[in-house]
Amino acid sequence: MDFNELVKDYWPQLMALAMNIGAAILILIVTAIAARIARRGVKRLSGRLDAILIPVLANIAVWTVYIIGLLMVLGRFGVNTTSVVALLGAAGIAVGLALKDTLQNIAAGFILLGLRPFRVGDFIQFGDTMGTVKEVGLFTTQLDTVDGLSISAPNSNVWGQTLTNFSRNATRRIEIVASIAYGDSIDKGIEVLRRLVAEEERLLPEPEPAFAVRALADSSVNLHMRAWARTDEYWDVYWSLMAKLKPALEAEGLTIPFPQRELHIVNQVARQPLEKIEHE
- Considering only residues 275 and 178, tell me which one the structure prediction assigns the higher pLDDT: 178
pLDDT at 89 over 60: yes
In angstroms and rounded to an integer, the radius of gyration of the C-alpha atoms of the chain is 37
pLDDT at 35 over 90: no
pLDDT of 232 > 90? The answer is yes
Residue 153 has pLDDT above 80, yes or no: yes
For residues 206 and 56, the model is more confident at 206
Give the containing element (helix H, strand E) for 123. Answer: strand 123-126
pLDDT of residue 86: 67
Q: Higher model confidence: residue 268 or residue 159? A: 159
Spatial CB neighbours of 146, under 8 Å, sequence gap ≥ 6: 130, 131
Which of 68-82, 87-101, 197-211 bottoms out in mean pLDDT, i.e. has the lowest?
87-101
Picking from 252, 251, 195, 254, the residue whose alpha carbon sits closest to that of residue 227 is 195
Q: Which 3 state secondary structure label does DSSP give 130?
A: strand
Above 70 in pLDDT, residue 121?
yes
The pairing of strands 171-180 and 163-165 is: unpaired
pLDDT for 48-66, tens place per residue?
Answer: 656 666 777 777 788 788 8
> Tens of pLDDT along 126-148?
999 999 999 888 788 999 999 99
Looking at residue 205, its pLDDT comes to: 92
Count CB neighbours of 197 within 10 A. 19
Phi-psi region of 126 (alpha: psi -120 to 50; beta: other; left: phi over 0): beta
Torsion of CA 143, 145, 151, 156, to 10 degrees: -60
Is residue 184 very low, low, confident or very high in pLDDT (cuts 50, 70, 90)? very high
Say which residue, 280 or 241, is predicted with more confidence.
241
Phi, psi for 112 (deg, rounded to 5): -60, -40
> How far, in Å, CA of 184 to CA of 150, rounded?
48
Domains along the sequence of the chain with CATH: 3-98 (1.10.287.1260), 117-165 (2.30.30.60), 171-251 (3.30.70.100)
Q: How far apart are CA 185 and CA 165, in angstroms?
A: 39
Of 168, 170, 175, 180, residue with least CA distance to 216:
180
pLDDT at 254 over 80: yes
CA 244 to chain centre: 32
Residue 275 has pLDDT above 80, yes or no: no
Residue 79 has a pLDDT of 67
What 3-state DSSP class applies to 154? Answer: strand
- Confidence band of 193 (pLDDT split at 50, 70, 90): very high
Rounded distance between C-alpha atoms, residue 252 and residue 131, angstroms: 40
228 φ, ψ (degrees, to nearest 5): -115, 145
Cβ contact 197:227 at 8 Å: yes
Per-residue pLDDT tens digits for 122-131: 999 999 999 9
C-alpha 233/C-alpha 169 separation (Å) is 12
* pLDDT score, position 114: 81
pLDDT confidence of residue 11: 61
What backbone torsions phi and psi does residue 145 show, to the nearest 5 degrees? -80, 170
